[in-house]
Amino acid sequence: MLQIIDKLLEEARQFQAETKEEVEQFRIKYLGKKGALSELFRNFKEVPAEQKRETGQKINQLKQFVADRIDTLLANLSDDIGGDDTRDLTLPGPPVLSGARHPISIVRNEIISIFGRLGYTISEGPEIEDDWHVFSSLNFPPEHPARDMQDTFFIEKDPDILLRTHTSSVQVRVMENESLPLRTISPGRVFRNEAISARAHCIFHQVEGLYIDENVSFADLKQTLLYFAREMFGKRVEIRLRPSYFPFTEPSAEMDISCQICGGKGCNVCKYTGWLEILGCGMVDPNVLEFNHIDSEKYTGFAFGMGVERVAMLKYQVKDLRLYFENDIRFLEQFKAAY
Ligand code: PHE
């Protein structure tokens, strides 16, 4: 009898089913009224007394195994999209959400691509900087207000270690390490100790550019920026340069683009001026060249720097800068782009 049980157990183990009917046959064969287990129980009384215990246990094991096997087989079959499946296969599937790039990445990549077409390389540098690379080598006099605690996040004092307030620091590192002529842009995150509002944030992104060679003129700067503005905002964009001040450029200017909303007529976006400010620029101050061991008699250069959030706000008509940092998916998924 023990052998018969073992054989039945082995058969049950091997059994596979492709339909519910086959499972039902299997159930009848083992657990039906005239099935194998009934027969075993019927013959049980003939088992010699000393084997009863072991045989009884084995029969019960077999019964349990068969019951479990039926459950597993049925469960597997119901996963199958078989003929008697009741699900509606014409229903639409669960939505597959495709990701979108962050608008700041889209705009940054676009800026990089525009200057890439003009032969600019990309340079990157540390976000935690020293005073030399962020201020001193850029001709910031010691008492310059930009060194004020209000603007800069200091990490250590004397010697000062700080979070960079602009990516001009990267350009200093490029001047230190690379040979002339230089043509590079530095995209990156910058930090300023400012109250967060619709127009300002303590963390934002910049792309700054630097071009140094013999005979680089302000006209080259202007043409480069005009090219950039038209690639970025459209062929009809006009630019204007207003005199400004930066310690590291002389002369310095701020560039406006003609308002794309009203076409220069005046609206609430451009505050009825027809112009929108977009970046700072100028000819590299000879002091900065000399601090970086570049002969300012032989070489000249220009530099410019822009906030990526600002460009993105103008491009996408987003009025509140904070939206770029909140990562609300309903805001972010509106931006799909090739970049
Ligand atoms: N570094 C300046 C800023 O962060 C921008 C700038 C760069 C201005 C280069 C002029 C030339 O505001």
Q: What is the pLDDT of residues 138-166, one digit of tens each?
A: 999 888 876 776 689 999 998 999 999 99
Nearest-angstrom CA–CA distance, 299 and 301: 7
Residues 45-67: b if buried by 16+ CB within 10 A, e if exposed: eebeeeeeeebeebbeebbeebe
Instruction: Ligand 1: list residues with CB < 6 Å.
Output: 166, 168, 208, 246, 249, 280-282, 303-305
Does residue 337 register a pLDDT over 80?
Answer: no
For all residues of the chain together, what is the average pLDDT?
Answer: 91
Distance 191 CA to ligand 1 centre (A): 14
3 state SS of 135: coil
From 162, 168, 304, mutation site for ligand 1 pocket: most ligand atoms within 8 A of C-beta: 168
Query: What's the CATH number of domain 103-338, 3.10.450.50, 3.40.50.80, 3.30.930.10, 1.10.150.120?
Result: 3.30.930.10
Q: In 3-state terms, what secondary structure has residue 122? A: strand
Rounded Cα–Cα distance for residues 36 and 16 (Å): 18
For atom 2 of ligand 1, the residue with the nearest CA is: 305
Computed on alpha carbons and rounded to an integer, the radius of gyration of the chain in Å comes to 38
Interhelix angle for 308-316 vs 103-117, to 10°?
A: 100
> Alpha carbon of 82 to those of 24, 55, 68: distances in Å?
16, 40, 22
- Map out the domains of the chain as residue ranges: 2-79, 103-338
| pTM of the predicted model as reported, rounded to 2 decimal places | 0.72
pLDDT of 83: 59
- Classified as helix, coil or strand, 84 is coil
Ligand 1: centre distance to CA 74 (Å): 71
Over range 216-232, report the average pLDDT. 98
